[in-house]
Structure 1
Amino acid sequence: MIDHAHDLACVRDATERLLTAVAKLDNASLAEPSRLPGWTRGHILAHLARNADALVNVLEGRPMYASAEARDADIERDAPRPLDTQLTDLRETAARFQAAGDAPADWSRTVELRNGVTDSASRMPFRRWAEVELHHVDLGIGYELEDLPDEFTDREIDFLAERFAGHKDVPSTGLSAGNGRTWTTGGGAEGAPVAVRGTAADLLGWLAGRRDGSGLTTNGALPKLPPL
């Protein structure tokens, strides 16, 4: 069972880690490339702020974004802002998300995200947690996949393994981590089952498109995953 209150607390902790790390940067470093192709660090911070507002929209029954074009335009508009403006925006939007999460609500209801995707309202705090943690890594400022909380890593692997389950382009794939956890995913493509082993951080990096899988071992070719 998903505990949205627990996940909201985890979002708060992850956001504080992010804010503390970002506060040590300067304006010049925000203009430098992040680990995401085509995005500076400023783009990532702008996206995180706008995503918080978008998830407030979801929780309050409004469209997540006015349009895909508006989402992209807002990120481009906000990416060049100076550090103090970025930090203020991150804090204020994080507070709005926490307030929306703390409001009395039916957490079992179904909500709609982008592109017609639906999910339980109770999953929104975890989705926000994933945004904060993974994009903190994407900034390339010393926070790595190995630094993520163990609980988050296991649950995000759960989420991504479920997302790729039955995908027509992914063969049946078993995942094994050094912590003893196992998962299965894929199964929609022809071919012999593939066994993939590695650290939880490397498995997550591969599934989330943050690592190329070179740190993993397999009994065959490493499956090519579709984009997230």
Structure 2
Amino acid sequence: MMDHARDLASVRDATKRLLTASAELDNARAPEPSRLPGWTRGHILAHLARNADALVNVLQGRPMYASGAARDADIERGAPRPLDVQLADVRESADRFQDAAAVFADWSRTVELRNGVTDQAARVPFRRWIEVELHHVDLGIGYELEDLPEEFVEREIAFLADRFAGHPEVPLTRLTDGTRTWSTGRTAAEPEVTVTGPAPALLGWLAGRREGAGLDVSGGPLPSLPPL
């Protein structure tokens, strides 16, 4: 069961970590390439700010973004801004998200996200937590998958395993870090692929941040996963 209040606190803590680390950059390093193809660090910071505002829209019953093109244009427009402007935008938009969540009442309600995806409102804070943590890693400023909170790593592996569950292009796959186990992929009876490794490495592969380094695979090759 989702604990939205606890997740909101985790979002707040994660945002503070990201802002503190990003403040060590300067205007010369902000436009440098991030770990995401085609995006600079400025693109990531602009995206994080606009994503917070988009989730306010979700909680208040409006479309998450006006359109995909508008979303992309906002990110491109915001990417070249000076670092202090970027960080102020991330901070202020994060505050707007927390303020909107503080007065939101019906956490059992189904809300619509991007591209027609729906979810329970109670999961929205966790979705924001995902954005902040993974994009902190994507900035490439010293925060790695191994630095992510253990609770977040376990829950995000489960979230992504569920996302790929039943996907026709992903073979039946068992994931394990030696202690915990998750399943994903097709549900038809077939030989099972087992992927074993440290939880951060499993998350890196599932989230498209790593190509499988540190993972052992049996029962077949490492499955190719669809883009998120």
Instruction: Give TM class, smaller chain.
Output: over 0.9
For the residue of structure 1 that corresponds to 2:175, the secondary structure is strand
Determine the C-alpha separation between the residues in 2 that align with 1:123 and 1:115.
Answer: 17
Match of 1:117 in 2: 117
CA gap of 1:191–1:130, structure 2 versus 1, over 3 A, is: same
How far the C-alpha of 1:214 sits from its partner, in A, is 2.5
Which moves more between the two structures, 81-90 or 184-193?
184-193
Q: Is the 8 A contact 1:112 1:118 kept in 2?
A: yes
Q: Residues 73-152 of structure 1: matches in 2 within 5 Å?
A: 73-152=73-152
Q: Residues 149-164 of structure 1: matches in 2 within 5 Å?
A: 149-164=149-164
The one-letter code of the counterpart of 1:30 is A
Q: Which runs of 5+ in 2 are unaligned?
A: none
Match of 2:214 in 1: 215
Match of 1:27 in 2: 27
The one-letter code of the counterpart of 2:223 is P
Detail structure 1 runs of 4+ shifted over 6 Å in the superposition. Answer: none
Q: Is the 8 A contact 1:170 1:188 kept in 2?
A: no
Match of 1:171 in 2: 171
TM-score of the aligned structures, taking structure 1 as reference length: 0.98
Match of 1:182 in 2: 181
Alignment coverage as a number of residue pairs: 227
Q: Which runs of 5+ in 1 are unaligned?
A: none
For the residue of structure 1 that corresponds to 2:64, the secondary structure is coil
Query: Identity rate of aligned residues, in percent?
Result: 74
Match of 1:54 in 2: 54
Considering only aligned residues, what root-mean-square deviation do their CA atoms show, in Å?
A: 1.0
CA gap of 1:51–1:104, structure 2 versus 1, over 3 A, is: closer
Q: Is the 8 A contact 2:34 2:140 kept in 1?
A: yes
